[in-house]
Every structure is written in C-alpha cells, then in structure tokens.
Amino acid sequence: MGCNASSSINENDPEYLEKLQNSKVEQMLMQSQQTEKNQVKLLLLGAGESGKSTVLKQMKLLHKGGFTSQERMLYSNVIWADTVGSMQTLIIQARKLGIPLKCDLPGTELNQFKKKVLAYKALDSIDASKAGGVSFLKNYVLKYSENGAAKRKMMSTGKANAGWEGAIEIEGDQEESEEVIPGLYELSGRNDIGFSKAEIAEAIQKLWQNDDGIQTCFQKNHLFQLEGSAAYYFEHAHLYAQDEYLCTDEDILKGRIKTTGITETNFLLNDTKFKILDAGGQRSERKKWIHCFQDITCALFVLAVSEYDQMLFEDERVNRMHEAIMLFESLCNSKWFANTPFILFLNKVDLLEDKLRRSPLRKYFPDYKGKTNDLEDALQYFEKLFLSLNRANKPIYVHRTCATDTESMKFVLTAITDMIIQQNLKKSGLM
C-alpha cells in the first residue's frame, strides 16, 4: 500500500523537531551576520581632556537630534560649579605665582567680590536630583577636593604612561576616592554664608572684567589645572546662576564632565548602524578599555594639539603631549588593532593658534624646526610626529578639528562616516 510523502512526517517526532530547530538557528545566524555587515563599531580613544566626549556630543547633535532637557539641566549644574571653581583657582594660583591682584587691596569693591567667591562652596549649590545623583557628585568631589589634589601629587610618577597596557598592569584594582566634602549634600540655592548664586555670578564677572591680575594669571594657565572653557564660563556666569536655566548646545559643547567607564551611543545612518564607544581617557579609566576592543571597525584617536605645554590632571609632573604620544604609539601598534584603520583628530586647533603666540612650541619640543608662532608649521610637525609612530604601516587618516565648532565638525564627521560606510561595505563584500 502506497502512502503520501507528507503523511509520513510526524510533527511530534524528536528528530524532525531537532532539524526544525537547527534550521531556525541557522536562519538567525545568517540574519545576524547580515546585520553585522551593516554595523560599524567606532572606538573613541585619547588621553584625558583631549576632546573625545565633545566629538561624541557633535555626533549626537548631527545624528541623534541633540540633547535632552535632563542633559541640559545636568550641564547647567556642573558648569555653574566649574565657573566658581575656575575663578577660585585663578585667585589662588595668582598668589602662588606672585601676580599682584587689585582684589587683594583692602576696602575696595573688588576685594569684597574676591571674599565672596573664595567663601562660596560651589558643590553645595548643586541640585543632586538634577546633576546625576549622589554617585555622580562623588566622582565630582575628586575634581574640587584639596585632598584629591594632594593624593594625585603624592601618587605622581613623573613618567609618561606606557599606554593603556601599562595602565592595566600598574593601576589594576585601584579605585577612585569617594571622600566627601563636609556639607556636600546640604544642597540648596544659597550657601551657609548667605550669598545667592546671582551675587556670586556678579562677583565673578566683575573680577574677570576689572582685575588685570586675574587676566595675567589666566594667560599663564598652562602652569596649573584650569577648565579649558573658563573664559566662556565667566562671560556667561549670570545665566548659569539661574536655577531653571537649561544649557544651550554651545554650553554643552564647551562644558566638560569627566567620562568614567565606557559609554555606548547608537544611531542609524543610510541603513548602517553605528555603535560608538567612548572610553574615559584618564589613566585610572584605561584599565576598562580592553573590554571594548573586539570587532572594532575603526579607531578614532583624539589629540589636543594645544596642550603641548600643559601637564596631566592626574599627574602634574607629566606633559600631556608626551602622554598622548606614548598612548598613541602603544595603541596604533597593538595586536588588538592589527587590522583596524585609525583616524587621527588634531583637535583644539583654534586654541593652538592662540597658544603659540604666548608659549613657544620649541621650549617643549626642541626638535621643532618650523617658524615661531606659525599654526601651519606646528600642525605639520605634530602630524608628522604621530604618523612616524605607525610601525604597523596601517592606514591613518588625519583631520584637523575644533570639536566645539559645530559647522566644521559637521563637515568632518559627515566625510568620516561616509568613508567608514564605504570601507565597511567593501570589506563585507557588499560593494
């Protein structure tokens, strides 16, 4: 007796069910492989304060529709604290450098402004609920605490780090300090000394505009740690003093919150999924980098060319450019990135042009043969210097950038994303 082929299939047969399951798994794997072909994984690298996170902010503006109200509120709180802290730093550093200040003259109006600023506790005025919560503030304490600065000085090696590998080996399981400044969590719009934020904002702006000694000290800020956007903060202090002020795009691009851990940002562009990983650049953060090294399409290394005369925040005996050189060399020639193209951003070009006029490049890099105060010669010098570190002979694409300039960054980032998409399609055999 004959029978139909279809009637011979028993849908409850274990062998049939196993084949069906295997078929589904194979189908999922094929879909996954196709998805991976259309995915770009971009890794942002660089030393602390290089501008990596600002590049990421520009990508958010370009492809993610900008910043949320929560982010704008967070930056309003942080920038206010940075504004006060930066003016306090200038007053204190002027004394250390022997720079006379008008505000030191007793009985003057500027003297009263100075006293207000020095007595004000910036962190006490931060609204924790709007500024990322208590855990965020604990990280922020490290920046302002005198104990934190003393600890960094004590742990200083005075040597440029051997790179992320050295950071992993040397720093191992060290954790950042979680010390608490007295009164840190007594958060309100007024300090215990009775000054409103508006009064402090006025004091800051008066000192900035009318005390020549403050300006002189600012011109020597490469000798100490100062926020790169301090001048911008002082000019807008009256805005940040408003409790309900929401930061503009420019404020956020100028502002800085230290990146801790690894942040991931995703966006879709021309049917290609971009995954951007931004890893904290300071030494204590580099031990985490190795966790995101797999399957990288492209590495983007950000170099702050204007910081050739500045020292690291985490080790004030080490030149920032020397640290960046050691870091780039170890990453570029690492086995982890043997087949990974690199993009090198020569960032903060606008600040370099200004810096060259008052701080000779040859003083810090004696082998520089270009013209004094010449921006083009200085940029060519740094470009050749970093390209010479490429012993792996891998492709390195160099772009000159000012990460806070939205229009110029839009042009650069569009060109880069187009290039990466084209390369990825070729690599995947889809072109």
Binding site per annotation, positions for Mg(2+): 53, 259
11 is catalytic: no
Q: How far apart are CA 59 and CA 37, in angstroms?
A: 21
Q: How far apart are CA 415 and CA 419, in angstroms?
A: 6
Q: How far apart are CA 348 and CA 50, in angstroms?
A: 8
Residue with tokens 């500024």: 131
Residue with tokens 């390195």: 396
Q: Please identify which of the residues 58, 211, 225, 256 carries the catalytic annotation.
A: 256
Q: How far apart are CA 104 and CA 369, in angstroms?
A: 43
256 is catalytic: yes
152 is catalytic: no
Amino acid at 380: Q
The structure tokens listed for 325 are 């050189």
44 bridge partner residues: 278, 300
What residues contact 18, with CB distance under 8 A and at least 6 apart? none
Give the Å distances, CA to CA, from 196 to 144, 200, 408: 20, 7, 39
367 is catalytic: no
157 is catalytic: no
Q: How far apart are CA 103 and CA 260, in angstroms?
A: 37
Query: What's the burial of 38, exposed, middle or buried (CB within 10 Å: 0-12/13-18/19+)?
Result: middle
Q: How far apart are CA 201 and CA 237, in angstroms?
A: 5
List the alpha helices (DSSP H) in 189-307: 197-210, 212-219, 230-235, 237-240, 249-254
What residues contact 57, with CB distance under 8 A and at least 6 apart? 67, 252, 253
Q: How far apart are CA 110 and CA 117, in angstroms?
A: 11
Q: Please identify which of the residues 278, 309, 323, 353 carries the catalytic annotation.
A: 278
Amino acid at 292: C
The structure tokens listed for 218 are 């600012």
Phi, psi of 247 (to 5 degrees): -60, 145
Q: Please identify which of the residues 282, 297, 404, 417 carries the catalytic annotation.
A: 282
**Residues that are catalytic:** 49, 54, 256, 278, 282
